[in-house]
Structure 1
Amino acid sequence: MEWMMHGGEFITLLLMALALGMDAFSLGLGMGMLQLRGREITRISLTIGLFHVLMPLLGMAAGIYLARVVGDVTRWAGAGLLIGLGVHMVWNSFAGGDESDGRRAASKTVGIGLILFALSVSLDSLSVGFSLGTFGANVGLAVALFGICGAMMAAMGLTIGSKASHLFGEYGEAIGGAVLMAFGIKFLL
């Protein structure tokens, strides 16, 4: 299936990248309360951006393979996965744990803690990558947008975290989840 070409694909992938970046942004807001230095913000943001590239690549590879093997069934599975992921993000934003606790966030800024944090923030990208792979989306464009948006939104969240975490923290992830649900429904139609 020719997947939303001629600018529509770019807009769709950009909106998805921004939706996925909202998770990094909202968690960055909480982490920003640590008063991180510029070098730390850069390191954390680039790590998150890298994982926002690697995870959807893995997901897309699996999605493309399954689309070839199974066929159109993967389209429905991909759409269902997007809807489920969106519902999960919205649910977590209102019922999830408090990531703004400085002690827990501090362990996520270096070494294995940073890798595990970036991996957890990017798990949504794996699922979305799988869905996009089943639809035959432009892989290069998708991962570039996911990586750039993930890194930039993490940097924004970390930078303004101490000032705005109480206003946007839980709602950023909910907005991102709502966008993913909308795209999942759109793909079903």
Structure 2
Amino acid sequence: MNPVSILLLGFAMSTDAFAAAIGKGAAMTRPRLIQALRAGAIFGVIEAITPVVGWLLGKGASRYIEVWDHWIAFGLLLALGLHMIWNGLKPEPDEPVDEAKRHGFAALAITGLSTSIDALAVGVGLAFVDTPIVVVAVVIGLCTFAMVTLGIMLGRVLGEVVGKRAEMIGGFILIGVGAVILYEHLAG
């Protein structure tokens, strides 16, 4: 693979994470740049690890992963999206919401993992071609870091414009990303 192809692959792998980050940023209460950078780092690291894991798995068991990757991604994103929609429909609580729990490491990591299943599948495919997997993984991770950071900050603007219902919009975005992943794999 040439450098341009690797860079394009990196941005292609980060698009679903970008969409999810917009939803997350909209659901957060006025996220600051440091929170966006943190989310970008979490997503980026996960997105960089998954193609390497896929590459390793592809050396022995590619047919099993490729059969289920789109269903796993769809199921995780559907569940997360429905949860966000549910939270957007609930009335405002009397006590303050624990932002650290709702948008903490575990919540971001689960969202990051659910949007990186396609990178796992790409890693499986790369196991059969002569590709510097470490370079590809680093580029995917850096592209995802940049796109998620930008997505969180764009989501902040969306959250300010739409208010509390922004979390519902974020949920619909996650479900849409999952549906697109499923459609692309079934049609493809």
Check if 1:59 corresponds to 2:50.
yes
Match of 1:91 in 2: 82
1:75 deviation in Å? 1.5
Unaligned runs of 5+ in 2: 127-132
Check if 1:130 corresponds to 2:128.
no
Match of 2:100 in 1: 107
Q: Is the 8 A contact 1:59 1:129 kept in 2?
A: yes
Aligned length: 175
**Distance of 1:30 and 1:179 partners within structure 2:** 17
Unaligned runs of 5+ in 1: none
Aligned-residue sequence identity (percent) comes to 11
1:103 aligns to what SS in structure 2? coil
Match of 1:178 in 2: 176
Match of 1:23 in 2: 20
Match of 1:165 in 2: 163
2:96 aligns to what SS in structure 1? helix
Deviations 1:149-168 (CA, angstroms, capped at 9, x unpaired): 11111122234523323454
Aligned alpha-carbon RMSD (Å): 3.6
Cα 1:88–1:117 shift into 2, 3 Å: closer
1:71 aligns to what SS in structure 2? helix
**Distance of 1:171 and 1:57 partners within structure 2:** 27
TM-score (norm 2): 0.69
Cα 1:160–1:186 shift into 2, 3 Å: closer
Deviations 1:26-45 (CA, angstroms, capped at 9, x unpaired): 2322322xxx5xxx611100
Q: Is the 8 A contact 1:81 1:184 kept in 2?
A: no
